[in-house]
Structure 1
Amino acid sequence: MKVLLQAATIYNLNSEYHLQQQNILIEQGIITYIGPEAKEADKTVAANGLCVSAGWVDLQAFSGEPGLEHKEDLESLALAAAAGGFTEVLLLPNTEPVVQTKGAINYIKSKSHALPVTLLPAAAITVNAEGKDLTEMIDLHQSGAVAFTDGTSPLQGADVLLKALQYMQPFNALLLNRPEHKRLTENGQMHEGEASTRLGMKGIPALAEEVTVVRDLQLLRYAGGKMHFSLISTAAAVEAIRKAKAEGLQVTCDVASYQVAFTDETIEPFDTNYKVTPPFRSEADAVAIKEGLLDGTIDAMVSAHMPQDVEAKKLEFDLAEFGIINLETAFAVANTSMQLPLETLIEKLTTNPRRILGLPEATLKVGEAAKLTLFAPEQVWVPAVEQSKSKSHNSPFFGRELKGKVLGTIHKGQLVLND
């Protein structure tokens, strides 16, 4: 099949056509022409403001398969990811059972083969993600585990984190950890501040993230290796990572694309679709995150896609589960709320996540396999629940006007176009 992308502006720092408007012809999944000529094709994609970049990579999303397929399965996640512009997605290991065996890794890889998105398995650092005994990480790495994390169960023990850092170094594996001191966040519902006091809800203090970041950086300084912090949300954490990078430590971090879309003062009180972890924090934290993205302290932006079924969300606020779906809205939410230059935003979705995971660079040039995301950054749209590809519908963005529309993806020779 021949696909022509007509008059598309290219966003790809590794390409000689960066920021140029060109026609791009893809034949059988391979880029065969980039230039001004209009080529014949079986399918032509043309749109006002059409842009194309290397396929986007998500460093954090959750699928319930196996065990929790009623929330999301691998197929529905892949469809949602493609609709959101992602060609590769790193999956958290917190399924039932936890992804901690070669069989579990191979299951994800085999299921991914026919899907329009490449699903990248992350394996647990500790057995059952309980934070105690280390998994067989060498075997898991050799089987295809792209990274190691306990995912939604942040590592608490300094001794376990230290051993994991030392254990991973011979095979240069990447450790991801969400910085949260669980004893400090116990029973917390939203950011600790004036709003939580006014609403009478137990707060989640910024301190719980900050002390963990500082501790983990001290362990990294001592043990060596490399570490990635998932879902940074506070000003002090951003500053600590900024200083660690200047010192030369091998540390990277990401932020949820929705993190500054709301603050603790602007969420809809008691609406569980706004209940996320880490929570929407203060305006000062939001400003610090934007600064961290601009100066390169924060390397990547993630969907933090966490589907929850109705039974887990349609409850009193304190009983409801944390998390929102965001694969389909990740780009639009960031483009609307982050106020970043488009080149910077695309870098946080393409070049940097690939570098962090050690994936090959994706370059728009003739002869390369087409691994592309098509989008219109100025197009305004409104997400609708009936159009969502996800099995779950826990999102505060349905019915909200967003700027920046994903038009489709081309990956593995498959063209996926949004309605």
Structure 2
Amino acid sequence: MKLVIRSVRIIDKKSTFNGQVRDVLIEEGKIKEIGQDLDANNAEIWEANGLCMSAGWIDMRVASRDPGFEHKEDLTSVRAAASHGGFTEIVLLPNTQPVVHSKDTLNYIRQSGSGGLVKLHVAAAVSRNAEGVDFTEMIDLHEAGAIAFTDGEQPVQNPDLFLKTILYLQPLNALLMNRPEDRQLTLYGQMHEGVTSTLIGLKGIPSLAEEMMLNRDLKLLEYALENNMYPSEVPALHISLISTVAAVHLVREAKKKGLPVSCDIAAHQLAFEDKDLIDFDTNLKVSPPFRSAADLQALKQGLADGTIDAIVSDHNPHDEESKNLEFDHADFGITGLETAFSLAITHSGLDLEDIIEKLTSAPRHILRLAENKIEVGAAANITCFEPDAKWNFNKSYSKSKNTPFLGKELIGKVRGVINNGKQEWYS
């Protein structure tokens, strides 16, 4: 493979070429040369107006549904959706059937993506069947390649299980990821608890359910590490999908205290408020729910000041039978791999370099992955994109179509991805 990317602006804070417009030569899976007017003899050419390049994007939260629910999404379709969304690596949640609580299931998923354009990382379950009762064999799963531990869509409710997991993973230098939600307080809830939920008669999901559980998790983390040294350069606990004013404040204060903690938000969380559910669109039924204008502003501030480390898609595919129902019977979740970048560009309020950082170097740091830079000699793990280009999201490569953005015009177009010696260009 020989490829020349013409007149591309390099977006990579860690690269000596950051902000410069250069030609980039890719050969045999590596960046061979970066310069001006590079020789393109016998090479494929990529070029477009306003083309930018960064290290390949990584998504920390993706539901694949395979094995067990392949009619919603399988490992082939999730990779296709990821590459069209600009992601060269994705972290898959363990909520499959069977749950990823054994090396057999873990290896099946990892080997399926081996050597492909999109690398599959697998997060293993904390508890058997993600039921929050019995521990999995975390040492074996860690040695088999689990990138982190989480019960995924099932928040860890048992405080003793949570505490012992922190202690158990510490000597492994392994990451615990948890979504803060007290399920007793959200039972039967359908949307954010507020004025709109009262007006349309849907049971609300209180912000308190997230904030109480997050406060518990941070207190337990502090307790667990009180008398233990922890390598402060990496987080021990990653908080998934924060969504409220108080949650942002709690994480901010925890970081000020020096706790080894990080967090993310879903890109779609920036695009809507609870009032947008007035028409009962089940494609807007997500968990955590879209919250108030004040919460949305707090998320943007948290992104700007570094409290929120990463942006994820929270890709959550569902078939028509799970979404085309009365609102209170529909499943939670939307697909997000193909739209995450566009939503971040449109709604985050961040400049382009900071958005890219929250899709590349920040999640790699959290996940203990090696740095990926745009430099001569580095492996070509690259995403190319036009941040100002308008495009119509008329076709999804996911098996499921549960997204409010199909048929809409979006800003921020992915043009191509390169990884593992493979490449795809999207015109």
Question: Distance in 1 between the 2:329 and 2:39 partners?
Answer: 57
* Residue in structure 2 matched with residue 373 of structure 1 by the alignment: 383
Instruction: With the length of structure 1 as denominator, give the TM-score of the two structures.
Output: 0.98
How big is the alpha-carbon RMSD for the aligned residues of Structure 1 and Structure 2? 0.9
* Residue in structure 2 matched with residue 125 of structure 1 by the alignment: 126
Residue 43 of structure 1 and its aligned partner are, at CA, apart by 1.3
Q: Secondary structure at the match of 2:211?
A: helix
* Residue in structure 1 matched with residue 22 of structure 2 by the alignment: 22
Q: Give per-residue Cα distances to partners, 1:88-139, cap 9 Å, x unaligned.
A: 1000000000001111111111101143100001000001000011100000
Question: Distance in 1 between the 2:345 and 2:379 partners?
Answer: 27
Q: Unmatched 5+ residue regions in structure 1?
A: none
How do residues 283-362 of structure 1 correspond to structure 2 at under 5 angstroms?
283-362=293-372
How do residues 270-289 of structure 1 correspond to structure 2 at under 5 angstroms?
270-289=280-299
Q: Look up the equivalent residue of 1:60 and give its one-letter code.
A: R
Q: Give per-residue Cα distances to partners, 1:53-80, cap 9 Å, x unaligned.
A: 0000100000111000000001100111
Q: Look up the equivalent residue of 1:23 and give its one-letter code.
A: D
- 1:220 and 2:221 aligned: yes
- 1:251 and 2:261 aligned: yes
Question: Distance in 2 between the 1:314 and 1:348 partners?
Answer: 33
Residue 14 of structure 1 and its aligned partner are, at CA, apart by 1.5
- 1:100 and 2:110 aligned: no
Question: Distance in 2 between the 1:303 and 1:405 partners?
Answer: 16
Residue 398 of structure 1 and its aligned partner are, at CA, apart by 1.1
Question: Distance in 2 between the 1:63 and 1:301 partners?
Answer: 18
8 Å CA contact 1:75–1:115 kept in 2: the answer is no
Question: Distance in 1 between the 2:134 and 2:164 partners?
Answer: 10
How do residues 360-399 of structure 1 correspond to structure 2 at under 5 angstroms?
360-384=370-394, 387-399=395-407
Q: Give per-residue Cα distances to partners, 1:177-224, cap 9 Å, x unaligned.
A: 000000111111111100000010000111110011101000000002
* Residue in structure 2 matched with residue 403 of structure 1 by the alignment: 411
* Residue in structure 2 matched with residue 183 of structure 1 by the alignment: 184
* Residue in structure 2 matched with residue 137 of structure 1 by the alignment: 138
2:270 to 257, 260, 270: 260
Question: Distance in 1 between the 2:21 and 2:367 partners?
Answer: 30
Residue 368 of structure 1 and its aligned partner are, at CA, apart by 1.1
Q: Secondary structure at the match of 1:352?
A: helix
Q: Look up the equivalent residue of 2:144 and give its one-letter code.
A: S
Question: Distance in 2 between the 1:120 and 1:48 partners?
Answer: 33
- 1:151 and 2:152 aligned: yes
Q: Number of residue pairs matched?
A: 417
Residue 301 of structure 1 and its aligned partner are, at CA, apart by 0.2
Instruction: With the length of structure 2 as denominator, give the TM-score of the two structures.
Output: 0.96
Residue 329 of structure 1 and its aligned partner are, at CA, apart by 0.6
Q: Unmatched 5+ residue regions in structure 2?
A: 231-235
Q: Secondary structure at the match of 1:259?
A: helix
Identity within the alignment, %: 53
